[in-house]
Amino acid sequence: MHDMFRRIARRYDLLNRLLSLRQDVRWRRLTAEAARLKPGQTALDVATGTGDLAFELARRVGAEGKVVGIDFVEEMLHIARAKAARLPEGAQCVFEHADALALPFDDATFHAATIAFALRNVTDVTKCLQEMRRVVIPGGRVVVLELSKPVWPVFRQLYWVYFNRLVPLIGRALQGVDGPYRYLPESVARFPDQEELVRIMREAGLHDVGYRNLTGGIAAIHYGTV
């Protein structure tokens, strides 16, 4: 997994925009809104990748707030830090190398914790959610943005053809390797659907758990309160 993300880091943003028709930008914005952060607060973005969700969170906590983005792929963090140096909201972002299953932070450190497009890649989904819950203050939110199962009948069939057949071809053409974007539809197929993820989040100790489908269920935002 580490080697796969290391290899695709350089074109990760380009392919996200292309394969989602730029819907990923909107999805991250809605995810940051779901965290319900206020100016001056702190947030943790788990598996931050190149930092796009961290920057959305930073826009909400403002100059007096702080966002920490963690990832286990240094090549992704290098890109995130380079972006932070260019963006106004980058000043309140810190990017650190860390393990999503063993977060190096004290209990109740952050006002919210988020994870985008990465929960299906961890080896223990419940453990990751428990760690996120542990580092969020009581009353704060844990928010998950993840590719999910489309719910519109006709659209669903067309989407699976695109996702399972065209996405791997486009990914291979632009990355020059076959594995990562063949893995993508396989990982989504294995990942729990919307209702099952609600159950897992409750099992991880979160309350008031719910979700919002995005673009017909291609992606979904799940949220829960500590």
What's the pLDDT at 141? 98
Residues 49 and 86: their CA atoms lie apart, in Å, by: 17
What's the pLDDT at 34? 98
| In the chain, where the domains are located | 2-149+192-225
Residues 150 and 218: their CA atoms lie apart, in Å, by: 5
> Do 10 and 178 form a contact (C-beta atoms < 8 A)?
no
CATH of domain 2-149+192-225: 3.40.50.150
What's the pLDDT at 4? 59
Residues 211 and 220: their CA atoms lie apart, in Å, by: 7
> Do 209 and 121 form a contact (C-beta atoms < 8 A)?
no
What's the pLDDT at 156? 66
Q: What is the DSSP string of 89-137?
A: GGGGEEEEE-BTTB--S-TT-EEEEEEES-GGGSS-HHHHHHHHHHTEE
Question: Which H helix or E strand runs over 174?
Answer: helix 167-175
What's the pLDDT at 165? 65
Average pLDDT over residues 101-105: 98
Residues 46 and 70: their CA atoms lie apart, in Å, by: 5
Q: How much of the chain, in percent, has pLDDT values that exceed 90?
A: 68
When mean pLDDT is compared across 23-37, 127-141, 149-163, 164-178, the lowest value belongs to 164-178
pTM for the predicted model, two decimal places: 0.87
Average pLDDT over residues 122-135: 97
When mean pLDDT is compared across 54-63, 99-108, 175-184, the lowest value belongs to 175-184
Mean per-residue pLDDT over the chain, rounded:
88
What's the pLDDT at 174? 57
Question: Which H helix or E strand runs over 62?
Answer: none
Longest Cα–Cα distance in the chain: 47
